[in-house]
Structure 1
């Protein structure tokens, strides 16, 4: 979100790969340090680097710094759920957003005024009994919350629960960031090199691999096309999409992989492909049918040992550790971050569902000799900075927070895609969904197939993300590159709200004939979003307002 100019990959681009060692160990809610020697506590009190947040930014950075020979501590407020089916089975990303051990429920405002916000039928309230109520006319005494924005409090961050979509940005995005920061190491050629270094492409064997990597930690795969062609209704949507975006009729609906590939465009992530419109299979952060995420790269690095059994890299991981403040030293004119204060405990942040919430079990401080790096996401990073005295002076003084550094930009420039859905219903079910219940029945036949399949194709529908088709195209107001990304799948999706992932909401009435095209609008010109403090309690969420449609350019009466 923050500093995003173009496509934001839903997988975060910097996700990670196979959990070879970690898959042998069950998830632990009490894990505070991962490594081959001890899981009781971080081994040293002082590190070269402390990184707060283990998601797509912080996790790989921690691993790379450790591999480079530094002592690194990676801190996350959540636990490790990497071996649960909710995290590891790709389609069950849907269920993971409502899986209490990793669920963080933010409620945001899309508009600055209540009258506009309340027009959204997904607006959520908290009733006097503590339950959620979605829509108009809540019970008397209910408290307005906003629109649900699911996040993940777990090792690996939101790459542990997202929809796994992995789309390479436009070259113009990298150029823009380079100009904005004055740092031309963000240039397109160098950033492509980094992508090649991190990717483990598993779907282009025997084809053009220009711009791809095959030896990195991020596994990439679409849903195996042999699964798609088993359902004629899905391939019919593919042929219809071709007819619309290319203005040509395909003729016979594909029934084989060869026929399907003939109407699909080439890989959208290849070198020189990012600016091209077309119909594609969705590239996913998936390795051999299992989610690929930073969690795996982090654990494999922390668990790496030499031939004699001694640890290879000094990467410690503290989980269930909520950082409350950045500590600063003042030996010179400029304050310097020297460490962090923290609380220990499970489910401390107020985004945690009440069923998983806990109380602090301890507290303390940790120190870094080189740098403290905050990679806690677009909401928590500005909140933590402000609580630590870095932010707009007027806001800090409003809460009697001592000003360490007056930085007016902290908590501003919040951006995101515009998202909407186009939903249709047919009279018959999608065969591709047969046996799939998203964990609401026992047995879940699709889960059994995913667990027992020997190959990605043999693991079935759950080895994808439920949205097998993607369309990339230009809108009427696009400048240079395509600015619309659509992905479609056989579910009913109208947005996020409490209970959105219940099977009864994804397939209303039990009818499995729904199809949704999710429409994402990139390159929007709205930079007016804000993250402001609600209180000085670090366990309170900040106030998040995207201020949609209040800045930028309105064309042809679009606001009427």
Structure 2
């Protein structure tokens, strides 16, 4: 399939804007009203009232469920979103881009999963992040907006091939990359590129619900050390003299330009999901804004832990849930001896949609009797549909940190006290002094996109530099921001990983229990070529080369990780195997045709063997797309909106 296929301008631009979608959706919703039971019109009152029946019940309010719920409500359907977490926006400072590590460890927002990278416990214990008796911390969020309330805001478009392969494997041309781009245009409100007057070759969106901006490169002038690191990085691409253009905003380093999706390499200033005031903005804001406009159609029930999908035969008719706070064992406030919650049910007149993510959606399917029959019977669950692929094919990206200690504190951060009384950096941010300062950015000062070897179809390495000590997730990891102002880290991310051997299996039939999650890294996985490991090794070498070159080395005191004793390919490989982590779990309910025995959903997100049940989240990708998962999930949420509304009206939208 030709990844560069381009339709004519009319087809490319038709329907891409939020205004066009809303107009169409409202027309469809109004038309649908005459054919339904009249439920949408009957649901009235404030958003704090709840009913026994809705058109759609969506489990999860994050990147998959949130935009979908907003679109369905705007189309005139009644929607209930079940969110297991509380409606707690927490301290307002968590909207500060640079403070996302604090948000991810906020006990009021977080669900702390502990996962296995290896079944071999001895190998697992070689990871410095290992917590005895638990595993490796994998932060998730439980609140309105899900993980989009604490993620690092990095907003990067995937590669065209990621979608073209889905179109090819499913036979569904609507997944072709030229068509999928319109969903990105529909969600994006790009604020760092001028709105085009005539043609739009970048294919950015300018009217969507997701504001995208870039950090102010002029801040580089405040830190001579970081400036040297950026210059040395640009030299790798023959752009030694480009730093002045970057600072003036005149160098086009746009990773989300349509041309880049075809596989371009280069240095980029990474976009982030923040508004013009440099505040986090995303699904939570979009959902709550929609609820304020349509209070009788969109209801969000928090502290509602879904326990199973209700079936009549093979048809999903509703959801059973526990009503109560902190009922899931990943919640830091879970109390073993506390309230067990109140068991309730809600019916779906049209469909049930699961958007719990790569861990919780397969868990909920299995608890509901949909999954590998032998596993369900082992836990006393009667199978409704034997789907062996549920919970299989779990994938992630590999990341490692190359951490250097500099000869002195970084000038950009030396005065920052990270929220202590009188914090000059916080005052600068709040009052807009001098470009709002370091807190206005989410961390990356420059990102490098490269192929680990020249014959790859798409770049597979995303290497980004942050002025901090970051080498993965472990309890208390965010304190490194406060403790180390003399550290700089290159984070090596290996995209398009080959390993598909991860699994999500039930630990028990108790819906409050977390599933058993094992990614089966490297030698335990099915990447027989070993390319994943070799790619990360190459990324470590690239990062080291920048820091050891003549421009930067005089400002480096020592390499903290991997450390001076790690030099050979074998040693670097051992470091990577021991210390890698990931935080983009996906693919555990993979999409594919019914002829694929391991496929869980079809190309319209419908669960095989069932009626009126879909999954819309990161778990449905057959292969992990691009470099960062959130944008592709936003896009499929928008696509699912079209598919679901089309089903509701038995016509295409």
Which of 221, 228, 234 is the equivalent residue of 2:220?
Answer: 228
Which runs of 5 or more residues in structure 1 are unaligned? Answer: 1-15, 17-34, 126-143, 306-310
Which of 203, 212, 235 does residue 204 from structure 2 map onto?
Answer: 212
Q: Judging changes above 3 Å, is the alpha-carbon distance between structure 1 residues 539 and 202 closer, same or farther for their aligned structure 2 residues?
A: same
Q: How does 1:463-474 map to 2 (within 5 A)?
A: 463-474=440-451
Unaligned runs of 5+ in 2: 1-17, 19-42, 535-568, 575-653
1:32 is matched with none
2 CA distance for matches of 1:270 and 1:67?
A: 29
| Equivalence for 1:554 | 530
| d(CA) in 1 for partners of 2:119, 2:265 | 35
Residues 396/356 of structure 1: CA separation in 2 closer, same or farther (3 Å cut):
closer
- Structure 1, 422-431 or 77-86: larger mean CA deviation: 77-86
TM alignment of 1:150-299, pairs within 5 A: 150-205=139-194, 210-244=202-236, 246=237, 248=238, 250=240, 254=243, 259=247, 261=249, 265-274=252-261, 275-288=263-276, 289-299=278-288
Please give the alpha-carbon distance, in whole angstroms, between the structure 1 residues aligned to 2:214 and 2:173. 32
* Residue number among 370, 377, 384 corresponding to 1:390 in the alignment: 370
Residue 467 of structure 1 deviates from its aligned partner by 1.8
The structure where helix makes up a greater share of residues is 2
Rounded Cα–Cα distance in structure 2 between residues aligned with 1:62 and 1:395: 32
Give the counterpart of 2:402 among 412, 416, 422: 422
Which residue does 2:7 correspond to in 1?
Answer: none
In structure 2, do the counterparts of structure 1 residues 40 and 260 end up closer, same or farther at CA, with 3 Å as the change threshold?
Answer: closer
Cα contact 1:225–1:257 (8 A) shared by 2 = no
Q: Is the 8 A contact 2:234 2:267 kept in 1?
A: yes
Aligned residues of 2:55 and 2:78 also touching (Cα < 8 A) = yes
**Post-superposition CA distance 1:96-138 (Å, at most 9, x none):** 111111011111111121121111111002xxxxxxxxxxxxx
Cα distance in 1 between the residues matched to 2:169 and 2:421:
53
Q: Distance in 1 between matches of 2:254 and 2:89?
A: 29
Residue 501 of structure 2 is matched in structure 1 by 528
Task: Give the aligned partner of residue 634 of structure 2.
Answer: none
Residue number in structure 2 paired with 1:59: 66
**1:437, distance to aligned residue in structure 2 (A):** 2.8
Deviation of residue 300 (structure 1)? 0.9
TM-aligned CA deviation for residue 242 of structure 1: 1.3
Among 485, 489, 504, the alignment partner of 1:512 is 485
- Deviation at 1:443? 3.1
Matching of residue 41 in structure 1 with residue 30 in structure 2: no
Distance in 1 of aligned mates of 2:219 and 2:44: 40
Mapped partners of 1:169, 1:114: distance in 2: 34
Q: TM-score, with normalisation over the residues of structure 1?
A: 0.82
- The alignment status of 1:325 with 2:304, answered yes or no, reads no
Which range is displaced more, 230-239 or 185-194?
A: 230-239
Aligned residue pair count: 486
Contact 1:278 1:471 in 2 (8 A): yes
What TM-score comes out, normalization by structure 2 length? Answer: 0.71
In the alignment, is the contact (CA less than 8 A) between 2:66 and 2:145 conserved in 1?
yes
Q: Tell me what 1:501 maps to.
A: 478
Distance 1:36 1:233 in 2: 59
- Following TM superposition, by how much is the alpha carbon of 1:382 offset from its aligned partner in structure 2, in angstroms? 0.5
Q: Contact 1:85–1:92 at 8 Å: present in 2 too?
A: no
Pairs within 5 Å for 1:17-96: 37-38=45-46, 40-42=48-50, 44-82=51-89, 84-96=91-103
Aligned 8 A contact 2:54 2:80 in 1:
yes
- Contact 1:95/1:438 (<8 A) preserved: no
Contact 2:48 2:299 in 1 (8 A): no
Please provide the CA RMSD for this pair.
2.4
Match for 2:118 among 101, 111, 123? 111
Q: What is the aligned partner in structure 1 of residue 37 from structure 2?
A: none
Name the residue aligned to 2:439: 462
How far off its partner does 1:485 sit?
0.5
Asked if the contact 2:90/2:109 (under 8 Å) is kept, the reply is no
Per the TM alignment, residue 512 of structure 1 is displaced from its structure 2 partner at its CA by 1.5
Kindly state the Cα deviation for residue 477 of structure 1 after the two structures are TM-superposed: 6.8
* Aligned-pair CA distance for 1:222: 1.1
**CA distance in 1 between partners of 2:306 and 2:323 (Å):** 9
Task: Report what 2:633 is aligned to.
Answer: none
* 2:44 and 2:297 in contact (8 A); partners too: no
User: In 1, distance between residues paired with 2:455 and 2:78?
Assistant: 46
Residue 483 of structure 1 pairs with residue 466 of structure 2: no
Q: Tell me the distance in 1 between the aligned counterparts of 2:365 and 2:454.
A: 37
Structure 1 residue 179 displacement after superposition: 2.2
Compute the displacement of 1:80 (Å): 2.4
Identify the match of residue 368 of structure 1 among 348, 354, 362: 348
The Cα of 1:284 is off from its aligned counterpart by 0.5
Counterparts of 2:309 and 2:484, CA distance in 1: 51
Task: Give how far 1:87 is off.
Answer: 3.3
